[in-house]
Structure 1
């Protein structure tokens, strides 16, 4: 995990065949206390005694290195650790290699007692790795969660879900007062760590379809402003304000909407498709090594059935007391 002054970013930990939008795999890795780096090389050529001649040998070498027990030594493993130690400016004993796999040649490693570093230090690390590894390709980082400030401890993999391109609907809420919960088709959900957070227990959210479940809805953060973060000087990057707003809501709770066409309160929608196509959901553009990518993002929220009022068309819900609406997940969709 990297820190940039008061901000943090996440390393994306890839594995064999992983899809960037496979939430369960991503967050299971990101939730690791070891906070792994993934170094990608064009090939293993030049490592150790340089006995690798082709991609087939890369694959067999990766398997061989993974079979080496932690208390055993291997000349290529030792060579990699020495180079990583120099690039990261740490002692060799602080480098732990977790896994090696082929395709390109990938090394997953961690640093003991990793301390936060700023973006300038990250750029220096990349230069150092290029100097140490002739076949350096990249260090993989999740493209959307890189800039926004999400600590891995905020996430709960039990809430991760990649939704299919069709919407299932469930009736949720108190008996005889249920309303439809429409699942967000085509989105990837990242669960937030909220179980055990509130004094009234967890049945507002879990188990799913419990009679005490709160209603499910969605909240967009496109209209975030500096004052939403306690800043009146405008010193935030407006491009990423919608993501920073989601972090702020998770940490500090909701605030009432500045514009209140249907009365004072926090606004949400039980219809994810309507909200996605509305003015309230932001599209964030991220520069990646594969070019610019655009993502939509919104919050999954739960609303107290006794604290929310819906418009006649059921497209908008108004929660007069911010304590009656809680975030429980982040939704991301590449567009």
Structure 2
């Protein structure tokens, strides 16, 4: 496992919170963490400036010196000043799972193919994966984390991934897709607004890298990129016009509780990916 303080810096950079270690109970689980990252992106798309999250209170949605729909984020010289951030305490013993760490830094898969839940799994070659402790945490068991047909496909979440990528839903998706949303998405082509309503991720780590968060570590002075590695519920995922982007659609009119529930039942994290620039 990389230096623990470096991992906390990576979590801070992703969440916009000041993440610190504690020997007591963690304020957040890995699922809470991906909820926050995804919800912050979603509510920023809607123009909100703040997010209320249970146990943490009010979180700012204002990125440090960044326009919401800019191209990939400029380098952040370390975390924001702690006084400007919400402080989050996590216990590394119940948040990380070193047994399942995997260093892909020097691995090249070439033509080798891997599958997760009937979907191609593009392994994060070039990245160092810090495993998150997520086994035995869900009522439906751990099948979602497996390698069989009933496992959930792998997706990556890079900071600043949203509908500004110019994405619309295709019309050949699941019959249960919202017809009104599909019509609106198609119509948006002539209106110049192609932002679909929901949470975006990608099955391609190279795509996530283009939009990932960067930070300069106070631990070793090096600059790192950070991405979340998740599993995505195939029943909740909608494929977009671009094959390298997936959307968890949030219907219009959902309140915050329902929106959070949709995210929580759709995306589960299991790895924190780090890469040196």
TM-score w.r.t. the length of structure 1 is 0.41
TM-score w.r.t. the length of structure 2 is 0.49
Q: Which structure exhibits the higher relative contact order, with contacts defined as CA atoms closer than 8 Å and separated by 6 or more residues?
A: 2
Specify the structure having the higher radius of gyration (Cα): 1
